[in-house]
């Protein structure tokens, strides 16, 4: 998706940190924020992807290696962003993994990785960035999922992490909204990204592939447009939740 689409939105002077920027939704959001004029720190584990993304952006950009399961790494990434750009206005808290499968015989290592990444990692990122976002009266965009609202067979552990993100985000919103910090929960349905590539359960892989073939799925840029809509609202307008599905997705 071209960044031109966002030229009507002006985020000049704003600084954003996009966590989970190396592919999919995060990559598209980082491109969109940069296209709208923001300075962008892009973070994730894959340094080669960060360099590739940084090279594709024309505005100020800082690639930062970051593993959200490591609290020190999270603190360092936030510090590097503020050291480079002076402040932090927008946090896109988007890192996530999805290993779907049944509860019976469920892979506990996968459950733990999802909880550490999607839920605890998300919380660590908020904790580290919050002082700067309070100073800037900034915006926190929390990537949840339709799975955070509607749990279905096979998605129990993943849904639990996203329901956790929703719960954490609402408490966070109540804590900081009086100080002018906006908390936006984005809940996408099926988006074509690398997320499903990591599913190990053969039946679940087949189900994901079938969904992909039988529906016109969202593209990362569709979600980026929703994120930009929320971020670009006037300061007194807080878009607390945005649920965005492919039109032909039932649940």
Other C-beta atoms closer than 10 Å to the C-beta of 183 total 26
For every residue of 25-91, DSSP letters joined together read HHHHHHHHHHHTT-EEEEEES-HHHHHHHHHH--S-EEEEE--TT-HHHHHHHHHHHHHHHS---EE
126 sits near ligand NDP (criterion: CB under 6 A): no
Selecting among 27, 85, 99, 158, the annotated active-site residue is 158
Query: Applying CB under 6 A, does 23 fall inside the site for ligand NDP?
Result: yes
Q: Order of strands across the sheet with 90-93? A: 61-65, 39-44, 15-19, 90-93, 139-143, 182-188, 241-244
67 is an interface residue for ligand NDP by CB under 6 A: yes
117 touching ligand NDP, by CB under 6 A? yes
The verdict on 137 binding ligand NDP (CB under 6 A) reads: no
* Closer residue to ligand NDP (CB): 46 or 137: 46
Residues 206-245 that bind ligand NDP (CB under 6 A): none
Using the contact rule CB under 6 A, the part of the chain among 45-53, 82-90, 170-178, 226-234 near ligand NDP is: 45-53
218 phi/psi in degrees, rounded to 5: -70, 150
Any idea which residue has 């599913």 for tokens?
199
Q: Of 7 and 248, which CB lies nearer to ligand NDP in the complex structure?
A: 248
CB of 236 to ligand NDP, least distance (A): 28
Nearest distance from residue 163's CB to ligand NDP, in Å? 12
Q: Is 25 in the site for ligand NDP (CB under 6 A)?
A: yes
Distance CA 65, CA 67 (A): 7
59, exposed or middle or buried, with CB in 10 Å at 0-12, 13-18, 19+? middle
**190 given a catalytic annotation:** no
Catalytic residues: 158
Q: Which residues bind ligand NDP (CB under 6 A)?
A: 20-26, 44-46, 49, 66-69, 94-98, 117-118, 121, 143, 145, 188, 190-191, 193-195
């Amino acid at each position: 998706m071209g960044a031109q689409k966002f030229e009507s939105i002006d985020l000049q002077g704003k600084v954003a940190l996009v966590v989970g920027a190396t592919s999919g939704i995060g990559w598209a959001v980082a491109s969109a924020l940069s296209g709208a004029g923001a300075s962008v720190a892009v973070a994730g584990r894959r340094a080669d992807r960060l360099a590739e993304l940084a090279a594709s952006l024309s505005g100020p950009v800082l690639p930062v290696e970051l593993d959200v399961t490591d609290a020190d790494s999270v603190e360092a990434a936030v510090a590097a962003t503020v050291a480079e750009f002076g402040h932090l206005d927008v946090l896109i808290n988007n890192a996530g993994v999805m290993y779907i499968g049944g509860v019976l015989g469920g892979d506990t290592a996968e459950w733990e990785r999802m909880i550490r990444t999607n839920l605890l990692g998300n919380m660590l990122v908020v904790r580290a960035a919050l002082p700067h976002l309070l100073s800037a009266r900034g915006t926190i965009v929390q990537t949840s999922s339709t799975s955070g609202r509607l749990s279905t067979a096979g998605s129990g552990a993943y849904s639990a992490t996203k329901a956790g993100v929703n719960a954490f985000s609402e408490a966070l919103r109540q804590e900081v909204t009086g100080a002018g910090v906006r908390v936006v929960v984005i809940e996408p349905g099926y988006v074509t990204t690398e997320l499903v590539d990591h599913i190990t359960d053969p039946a679940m892989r087949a189900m994901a592939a079938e969904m992909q073939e039988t529906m016109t799925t969202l593209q990362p840029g569709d979600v980026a447009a929703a994120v930009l809509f929320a971020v670009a609202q006037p300061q007194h307008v807080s878009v607390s939740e945005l649920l965005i599905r492919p039109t032909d997705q039932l649940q």
